[in-house]
Structure 1
Amino acid sequence: MPHGSTIDPGLIQAYLETRYHVHGDTPLTLAVGEASPALAALHAAAGVDCSAFITAWNPHSRQEQDPAANAARQQALAGELAQRGLHAIEGIGQHPSGGWPGEESFLVLGLALDAARALGARYGQNAIVWSGAEAVPRLILLR
């Protein structure tokens, strides 16, 4: 098992290849393992040193879920982020092949790694993408 995970290696590879698009005033695209000067600038502007790209769509990526169910899960995540006073920017995770529909997501500014892990696990995710002060997105496996 790669990385000591129970997640299928092919799925892990797909996460590594996915592009994580952040909307907002200054759109940017994140790639796992690639430093992002635009993300570093966003962190600086927001006065934070970390962020997490997270979704509530398609828990455990077993199969594509009903769009209405995905939307309801994403709305619940948005509500939780707002209730916790976290600054979240809408985005979408999309594999370049287009073989799996893009998943609506949020870039949550200032979300520490442990809190990001807990949030991803609560919404049934296999992984999140987290960036620290160096603004290099890292794939964080949750199972």
Structure 2
Amino acid sequence: MGSAIDAATLRAYRETHYRVLGDRPMRLRIDQPSAALAALHQAHGVDCSAFITAANPFSQRCGDAANAQRQLALAQNLERMGLRAIAAAGEHPSNGWPAEPSFLVPGLSLQDARMLGEQYGQNAVVWSGADAVPRLVLLR
């Protein structure tokens, strides 16, 4: 099955460093197991998590103020769902794209991660199951 996302954007998503801030800082990479993420899952009593943003829908830059408003709306949505959002940022190591404000959300199911990603106009989300391997989940 193909994707509406161009090859260069997909490559950038796979190369991005998904940095989790907060009490347990870590850097996640697509398809690379993370002992730190496994420990975070255990500490939160969950078997999955998602790295998600509301910034720059469909990979179109929309500015700091607009991204901040979008992130606030996502944070409020996650709070209504009873989920804890840990501050994070997606940052490509070399292409000059500004770091995107994001959240790591312990316990966010794949179905809900997809739903939120679509709601906030994202091309993809990063989801990890019990194996603590971040996977790129394409939404278009």
Same fold (TM over 0.5): yes
In the comparison of the two structures, how many residue pairs are matched? 140
The more displaced of 78-87 and 49-58 is 78-87
Q: 1:97 corresponds to which letter in structure 2?
A: S
Inter-partner Cα distance in structure 2 for 1:131 and 1:66: 29
Inter-partner Cα distance in structure 2 for 1:65 and 1:73: 10
Inter-partner Cα distance in structure 1 for 2:110 and 2:81: 16
Inter-partner Cα distance in structure 2 for 1:26 and 1:7: 32
Match of 2:51 in 1: 53
TM-score by length of 2: 0.98
Match of 2:102 in 1: 105
The DSSP-based 3-state class of the residue aligned with 1:105 is strand
Inter-partner Cα distance in structure 1 for 2:135 and 2:21: 19
Match of 1:41 in 2: 39
TM-score by length of 1: 0.96
Deviations 1:32-52 (A, max 9, x none): 010000000000010000000
Inter-partner Cα distance in structure 1 for 2:136 and 2:95: 20
Match of 1:142 in 2: 139
Which structure 2 residues correspond to residues 1-143 of structure 1 after superposition, within 5 A?
Answer: 4-62=2-60, 64-143=61-140
Q: Share of identical aligned residues, percent?
A: 61
Q: Which runs of 4+ in 1 moved over 2 A?
A: none
Inter-partner Cα distance in structure 2 for 1:31 and 1:98: 16
Q: 1:26 corresponds to which letter in structure 2?
A: R
The DSSP-based 3-state class of the residue aligned with 1:4 is coil
Which segments of 5 or more consecutive residues in structure 1 lack a partner in the other structure? none
